[in-house]
Amino acid sequence: MEDAAAVPIKKVPRDERILFMKAAFQQEFGNPPKFIVKVPGRVNLIGEHIDYCGFPVLPMALEQDALIAAGTIREKEINIKNVNYQKYPEYKVALKKFEEIKIEPDVDGKPFWYNYVLCGVKGALEYLDNKFEQGLQILVDGNIPPASGLSSSSALVSASCLTFLHAQKAKITKTDIASLCAVSERYIGTQGGGMDQAIAFLGEKNSAQYITFLPLQVTPVTLPDDAVFVVAHSLAEANKAANNEYNSRVVECRLAAKIIATREEIETGSKMITLSQLQECRDSSLEDMIELVHKLLPEEIYSKSEISSILNISEDALGDLYLTSNTKQLPDFKLKQRALHVYEEALRVENFRKLCSGSNRINDNIISSLGNLMFESHESLKKQYECSHDNLDLLVDLSKKFGVNARLTGAGWGGCIVAICREEEVNAFMDYLTDEFYVKHCNIDRENVPSYLFATAPNDGAVIYQL
């Protein structure tokens, strides 16, 4: 089975960027690298903000990636450099136990770039039980636009973890390293699900992946032959680790599940329960869960004290058991809206997948039907999940005007949209967005647009090039 396999080790391809990395590494460290790791970014087609609730998602790996060229050294330290050294300065740290690796944000609360590398290394050390032989010299490069919702951070965390493990000759399957990286990325402070790391390792050329969690499994989904997916950057940067918006959605889902469980007299003690576990416990359909949310979470807003009294615990205990350090001070929570989004989005994922695998795949309407699901997803993310941005909404509206459906992709609050269109309309659609959004609305020079707007097809997951 593909996902029980380890990350493939290949010969170095004649690729310009890889050759450049080899030369740049030699120049930086005075010796050649031993291997180069490549981990792709991703675009999520549908299933947003539901992975951390335990529901399946449907992303594909991108061509854009994070690259790490690595050399091993005797000293137990890691020397981290970036090709773009002015923006991303060098960092060096002694390696001891994973417990001793500190991951602290800078003064604005934004993570330092190298913290993503440290997350990966910390996870690898934990996996190795702190037993390792080799220190590392690493040089990082990447062409996934940062803060774009295309998973540049997870690609870097995953590439770093893979680099460290490969340097120690550790054996690990793709699914295990994907799960390991999902957990280690949380050291940055966000309580992410596992989608980005899963697709980073388990992506496949020519198909998107239907990803289920606990246990992590992927099933290829063949997209309609004449469908093209276009990614467009909103030019609003979205760094989910720089504020508490992402974590507040995670905890709102936790609290929604906990309250419904309590009201339904499902025994969970002080343990957390996800919205998908709740569905399993009740053995209900997603449609029934949607009705249940309306019935059991009728309010628009729940205050912290209200939630404590429903759960019959003190506000301090509520904070300790279910909130994160950056959400403990929140006075109130939107539970109905978030839970409705989650169950409805989970239903859209199932419908999207069914449409792709149905016997009427060649049917003319399939692209419109997939597009409608994507558009509904965006509407829900905008209104119920409140994680959109004016620029994202404008891009989605402009697409609609042109006759194409689109949605925000990734965590939101900025970053990119993904649109689905027919092959024959892709050029006209991209010209339209170039004029209407990038040139007219954002004053961008036409020649710079291709780095923000591109058509994409599913790609392979991570690979190691052995030199």
The residues assigned a catalytic role are 196
How far is the CA of 41 from the CAs of 10, 155, 295, 333, in angstroms?
20, 6, 39, 32
The CB density around residue 46, as the number of other CB atoms within 10 Å, is 26
Nearer to ligand GLA, 138 or 238 (CB): 238
The CB density around residue 72, as the number of other CB atoms within 10 Å, is 15
**Residue 49 found at the interface with ligand GLA (CB under 6 A):** yes
Binding mask 277-316 for ligand GLA (x = CB under 6 A): ----------------------------------------
**Residue 41 found at the interface with ligand GLA (CB under 6 A):** no
Q: Are strands 135-142 and 77-82 parallel, antiparallel or unpaired?
A: parallel
**CA-CA distance, 11 to 13, in Å (whole number)?**
6
Q: Residue 193 Cβ, how far from ligand GLA at the closest point, in Å?
A: 4
Query: Of the candidates 54, 189, 192, 371, which one interacts with ligand GLA according to CB under 6 A?
Result: 192
Q: Residue 380 Cβ, how far from ligand GLA at the closest point, in Å?
A: 12
Q: Residue 332 Cβ, how far from ligand GLA at the closest point, in Å?
A: 22
**Residue 252 found at the interface with ligand GLA (CB under 6 A):** no
**CA-CA distance, 367 to 356, in Å (whole number)?**
9
Bridge partner list, 456: 229
**Residue 28 found at the interface with ligand GLA (CB under 6 A):** no
Instruction: Give 85's contacts (C-beta < 8 A, 6+ positions apart).
Output: none
**Residue 51 found at the interface with ligand GLA (CB under 6 A):** yes
Nearer to ligand GLA, 132 or 322 (CB): 322
Enclosing H/E stretch for 210: strand 208-212
Nearer to ligand GLA, 40 or 410 (CB): 410
Q: Residue 404 Cβ, how far from ligand GLA at the closest point, in Å?
A: 22
Q: What residues between 317 and 336 interact with ligand GLA by CB under 6 A?
A: none
- Which range in 125-133, 188-196, 355-363, 455-463 contacts ligand GLA by CB under 6 A? 188-196
Query: Of the candidates 28, 126, 196, 344, which one interacts with ligand GLA according to CB under 6 A?
Result: 196
- Which range in 19-27, 47-55, 326-334, 444-452 contacts ligand GLA by CB under 6 A? 47-55
Which ranges constitute the DSSP H helices of 334-389?
336-357, 366-383
Residue 389, Ramachandran bin (φ over 0: left; ψ between -120 and 50: alpha; else beta):
beta
**HSE of 349 in the Cβ direction (CA atoms, 13 Å)?**
26
Is 159 strand, coil or helix?
helix
Q: Residue 321 Cβ, how far from ligand GLA at the closest point, in Å?
A: 21
**Residue 410 found at the interface with ligand GLA (CB under 6 A):** yes
**Residue 213 found at the interface with ligand GLA (CB under 6 A):** no
Q: What residues between 216 and 235 interact with ligand GLA by CB under 6 A?
A: none
Binding mask 144-173 for ligand GLA (x = CB under 6 A): -------x--x-------------------
DSSP 8-state symbol, 94 = E
**HSE of 1 in the Cβ direction (CA atoms, 13 Å)?**
9
Phi, psi for residue 445 in degrees, rounded to 5 = -70, 140
Q: Residue 151 Cβ, how far from ligand GLA at the closest point, in Å?
A: 6
**Residue 48 found at the interface with ligand GLA (CB under 6 A):** yes
Nearer to ligand GLA, 410 or 414 (CB): 410
- Which range in 46-54, 103-111, 327-335, 378-386 contacts ligand GLA by CB under 6 A? 46-54
Single-letter amino acid code for the residue at 281: C
Single-letter amino acid code for the residue at 447: E
Q: Residue 184 Cβ, how far from ligand GLA at the closest point, in Å?
A: 12
**Residue 411 found at the interface with ligand GLA (CB under 6 A):** yes
How far is the CA of 101 from the CAs of 78, 80, 97, in angstroms?
11, 14, 7
**CA-CA distance, 118 to 110, in Å (whole number)?**
15
Single-letter amino acid code for the residue at 136: L
Q: Residue 19 Cβ, how far from ligand GLA at the closest point, in Å?
A: 31
**CA-CA distance, 100 to 126, in Å (whole number)?**
11
- What residue ranges bind ligand GLA (CB under 6 A)? 44, 48-49, 51-52, 151, 154, 192-193, 195-196, 410-411
